[in-house]
Structure 1
Amino acid sequence: MSFLRRRPVPSLVGPSALALLLITVAGCSSTDGPAKAAVPSPDGKVTELCRNLHEELPERIDGLARKDPAPASELTAGWGDPAIILRCGIPKPAEMNDAESDGVEADGVGWLMEQRDDGSFRFVTTLRRAYVEVSLPKSRADGGLSPLTDLAPPIKKAIPEGIAD
């Protein structure tokens, strides 16, 4: 008669294996979280205008779905990945005092235009009661002004013409 002797096989689901699995999953976790945007802190009148704009913003601009940045705020919005970011209620940019600054108009809304060193663009509304900033990543810069054209109707509706304080 033959006796078969069995040795215990270490469990693959013990605490060490579980820890290794968690570390592996954490290391491979998605970095596709929302973009980040600093939330402006304007005064009460401008905050109200920005909240009105937030209610008017479209779900899509330039064919990109809305994907708001973190932290969530009625003063920021985003579309696509990499995100086109809108921030409402920013302080007046110093560049607006420079007569040599570039400007564009898209569907009746004037914008200060700045190309950044990384190839992205920053646009800030002009002659409106609140400053609205739109940041366009380099990868979206070749699409022209269509994001600004898509944003013009809600801006015209929510942010009256005039000079921001």
Structure 2
Amino acid sequence: MTRELRAPRFLAALPAPVRWLAVPTALACTVVVLVGSWSRPEKIETPDPAPKAAGYCRALAAALPQELFGHPRKDPTPASPFVAAWASSPRVVLRCGVDRPEALNGPAALDVSPMIDDVTWWPRELGDGGYRYTTTMRKAYVELTVPKGSFANPMDVVAALSPAVAANIP
């Protein structure tokens, strides 16, 4: 005993060309919606530094490289002198003028922090395997987020940006 598959009544009432295109059209619309949702820009909080720190951050923003290991600089919109990003995948983000991390007031302040080009970077591993580095002993705090998978060695990014930080933030 074989059962014959029949189209639902609302489809059967439509002309044949419309019925044939209904499923492909629905699939195409689904793909468009999914692709559109993937390309949403991530929200990056813009710091609000004190006036003196803001001056240092503006100088740093002008000195940052336009390319980082082959990835062009692609700052978030709206543009801010306090946030820089590079088009790695996922992207590396530098924020200048952030608040002093609260964890530096506790025992975490004693963690070993690498010094590169006279800039001390306090590292924190993110839950997803990436790293967030924050400068210490500077007149403005700089935070550098290197997500997992953006670069093989996150310290390469820190080393590449340290000279600009050292030259512009005392």
TM bracket (short chain): 0.7 to 0.9
> Is 1:108 the equivalent of 2:153?
no
Deviation at 1:153, TM superposition (A): 1.7
Partners of 1:62 and 1:96 in 2: how far apart?
Answer: 31
1:34–1:67 contact (8 Å) kept in structure 2: no
Partners of 1:118 and 1:76 in 2: how far apart?
Answer: 22
> Which consecutive unaligned segments of at least 5 residues does structure 2 have?
1-14, 19-25
Given residue 61 of structure 2, which amino acid in structure 1 is its aligned partner? Answer: H
Aligned to 1:53: 60
1:35–1:68 contact (8 Å) kept in structure 2: no
Deviation at 1:144, TM superposition (A): 3.9
Given residue 50 of structure 1, which amino acid in structure 2 is its aligned partner? Answer: C
Deviation at 1:34, TM superposition (A): 4.2
Aligned to 2:89: 81
> Which consecutive unaligned segments of at least 5 residues does structure 1 have?
1-8, 13-19, 161-165
Structure 2-normalised TM-score?
0.73
After superposition, residues 12-161 of structure 1 pair within 5 angstroms as: 25-29=32-36, 31-32=38-39, 34-79=41-86, 80-97=88-105, 98=107, 99-140=109-150, 142-160=152-170
The number of residues matched between the two structures is: 149
Structure 1-normalised TM-score?
0.75
Higher helix proportion: 2
Deviation at 1:62, TM superposition (A): 3.1
Aligned to 2:12: none
1:95–1:101 contact (8 Å) kept in structure 2: no
Partners of 2:70 and 2:46 in 1: how far apart?
Answer: 25
Identity %: 34
Deviation per residue, 1:34-84 (Å, 9 max, x gap): 443100111111111111111111011233221112442110011122110
2:117–2:166 contact (8 Å) kept in structure 1: no
Deviation per residue, 1:118-165 (Å, 9 max, x gap): 2111100111110000001011363241111111121112111xxxxx
Secondary structure of the residue aligned to 1:157 is helix
2:134–2:142 contact (8 Å) kept in structure 1: yes
